[in-house]
Amino acid sequence: MKKPIKNLLFGLGAATVALGTVKLVSEGINRVLAKAAIDRERPYIMKKLHFVPSGSRPTEETVDRFREAQSRLESQTFETVKIESYDGTELVGHLYRAEHQQRVLLAMHGWRSSWSMDFSMISPFWEKNGCSVLYVEQRGQGLSAGEYMGFGLTERFDCIEWMKWLNANGFAEVPMYLVGLSMGAATVLMAAGSEELTDNVRGVIADCGFTSTKDIWEHVIEKNCKLPYRLHENGIKRLYKDRIHFDSDDYSTIEAMKVTKKPILLIHGSDDHFVPVQMSKDNYEACQAPKKLLIVEGADHGMSYLVDREAYEKAVLDFFAAYDGTNGQEENACLN
């Protein structure tokens, strides 16, 4: 065999091996990213590296404050509730009944978090203002069943099932609000697009929610993981579809906002390193129902209540005052 031909074949062989190696590495990265996003158990390598996908860590003082508040909330008296969701997944919730009930909140916590952590700070405010609260444990987390999280795509249906349970168990005539933080916010915003929402659902309160699964993945992978999302998108989407049977772009909060008739209160910190504040602005622009957007200057992800409690509480109380006595669909000038 002539030398030029041998060199060419050698080069082609080396290139094939190199491409195969790159493909294997890429697939490995895709699996880690997909597992980190939706598997109940975080990948070992993420734990080992102490990777923070949110892009920032809270101070020790803030963590201590949350833990103290979490302990207080968990010491309250709750009724533990279990339901079977649309796909047979058993879900767990914790119902707090207000002594002087004025309304009921259906509270959905965030990604890789818990009900008692995410709502620990604001729960005394809710209790003080006559709110019974059903604190949900999201699928694939805590005591609820399921091996995977759906970033709102599956959880939006869980939210509807919890609404139905509340209505079947004494709350059908009580003003109800869907409340969520982070992934929980995206969940309740997506649920707001459902035609199954009953008249007693008076509105939705969404704190630092993202616009879609695809949007938040792209942001976190590009900005916080420092990886090119475009190179991993198809592989991640394939793994996602295999696990939860939805494409990452099957639905979005933007789509829900275009059709919902329920009033929407959006809250977001200006310095959010996990979910860009622009996503709440985009939801606000898309929303065709009565709406209000509160941007808390200087607040990072999920920290708006800590940074400006007065503004946060005023926005929520104004929202309650506007819609407690309506069916949640009338226009109200004070929210626009």
| Domain extent for 111 | 52-212+251-323
Give residue 38's region: left, alpha or beta (phi > 0; psi -120 to 50): alpha
Residue 9 lies in a domain: no
Q: Which CATH number do you get for residue 183?
A: 3.40.50.1820
Domains held by the chain: number: 1
Residue 40 lies in a domain: no
First to last CA, the chain: 79
The confidence score (pLDDT) of residue 202 equals: 98
Instruction: Label residues 234-247 b or e (16+ Cβ within 10 Å = b).
Output: ebbbebbeebbebe
**Structure tokens, 215:** 């949007």
**pLDDT tens track for 162-221:** 999 999 999 999 999 999 999 999 999 999 999 999 999 999 999 999 999 999 989 988
Indicate the pTM of the whole model: 0.87
Residue 31 lies in a domain: no
Residue 295 lies in a domain: yes
Residue 300 lies in a domain: yes
The confidence score (pLDDT) of residue 215 equals: 93
**pLDDT tens track for 262-296:** 999 999 999 999 999 999 999 999 999 999 999 99
Residue 262 lies in a domain: yes
Residue 227 lies in a domain: no
Residue 11 lies in a domain: no
